[in-house]
Chain A
Amino acid sequence: MIGVGKIKQYSNILDKPLSKGKQEVSLSAFAFLFSELVQYNQTQVDNIAELERRLEDAGYAVGARVLELLCHRDKGNRRETRLLGILSFVHSTVWKVLFGKVADSLEKGTEHEDEYMISEKELLVNKFISIPKDMGTFNCGAFVAGIVRGVLDGAGFPAVVTAHFVPMEGQQRPRTTILIKFAEEVLRREARLG
């Protein structure tokens, strides 16, 4: 019989073992799916702010799951309890698993104590997207901002996360910055934990 080995059929997802995470998805498939997501939401809303909020909510659901899965798979069941810990978790582990590389930079804001920025020269989700002039400051990176917010919220560090374009001299495409502004209680707890 020209056969392949017998593949074990699982009747329920709970019986299947958790995947090791070595699988990769093609960039074109993702770009196509993401463009459909943006286009679908565009037909459902009246303004830019609502569109950004919807993309963020979609990312939030991803972030909540990514946090649990990665802590279990890659960090051997250790939780993050400190601010810098969770930020470096997002900057390295989460970015590596989602986009194949660590984020370009992680900076602390100079004006405010509670602001941090993760910068990326070219955000993967924005790679094939150009924003028309009449959409102003809209950024599809709101999806990634939603993922980061989902991870931070799940871990107990509520924050407001937004995506911004930062024009750079000498480069045609602007750099993307994910701005993270933590809530009051996070800073108070950090101070308390010393």
Chain B
Amino acid sequence: MTTTACFIIVSRNDIPIYEAEVGSAAKREDAAQLHQFILHAALDIVQDLAWTTSAMFLKAIDRFNDLVVSVYVTAGHTRFMLLHDSRNDDGIKSFFQEVHELYIKILLNPLYLPGSRITSSHFDTKVRALARKYL
């Protein structure tokens, strides 16, 4: 079953620090830009919602046609956003939690400036592997 999924990590200052198309469907050039546009438009909703709850996983917060945006907010207000067409809530939650651990390990690097782009190829490999496993 092919799934579309676009994963973005947005820092506290609303700057994307990591993006990846992790769906198993064939990648189309215009689809990637549309996905990023939808995710950025959902940022406003996340901002309001983040202050109403102390949980980190804010399920599905926005929809576009048949694509759903799910968001996970960390303690430092870094947002993990996933645009997808599946309904697998538990899988998505586990995916977010695993990526959160990876993100903390990157953050603990004293030479990493918080809020800057994540350029590690190993991180990229691991995120894609997690996406294949959970999504």
20 cross-chain CB contacts under 8 A: A14-B120, A64-B76, A64-B107, A64-B114, A65-B107, A67-B76, A68-B76, A68-B104, A68-B107, A70-B75, A78-B54, A78-B55, A78-B56, A79-B56, A79-B73, A79-B74, A79-B75, A81-B52, A155-B77, A189-B51
B122 CB contact (under 8 Å) in A14, A61, A69, A72: A14
Whether A135 is near chain B, meaning CB under 8 Å from some CB there, is no
Chain B contacts with A in 84-135, Cβ cutoff 8 A: 97, 100-110, 114, 120, 122-123, 126
Interfacial chain A residues near B104, Cβ < 8 Å = 18, 68-69, 72
Q: Is the CB of A154 within 8 A of B77?
A: yes
Does B27 make an interface contact (CB < 8 A)? no
Whether B76 pairs with A154 at a CB distance below 8 angstroms is yes
B75 near A154 with CB under 8 A, answer yes
Is there a chain A Cβ closer than 8 Å to B65's Cβ? Answer: no
Tell me if B73 and A72 are in contact (CB < 8 A): no
Q: Which residue of B lies closest to A71 (CB)?
A: B75
Complex Cα–Cα for A80 and B74 (A) = 10
Give the bracket for the number of chain B residues in contact with chain A.
20 to 34
Q: A65-B108, A67-B76, A71-B75 are in contact. Are A81 and B51 (CB under 8 A)?
A: yes
CB interface residues, B 12-29, toward A, < 8 Å:
12
Residue interface mask A58-87, B partner, CB < 8 A = 1: 000100110111111000011111000100
> Considering the complex of A and B, which 4 residue pairs feature the smallest CB-CB distances, nearest first?
A71-B75, A154-B76, A77-B56, A68-B76
User: Could you list 15 further interchain pairs (A-B, Cβ under 8 angstroms) beyond the known A64-B114, A72-B74, A72-B75?
Assistant: A14-B105, A14-B123, A61-B110, A61-B114, A65-B107, A67-B76, A68-B74, A68-B76, A77-B100, A79-B50, A79-B54, A79-B56, A81-B53, A154-B75, A155-B77
Residue of B nearest to A89 (CB): B75
A12-B76 in contact (CB<8A): no
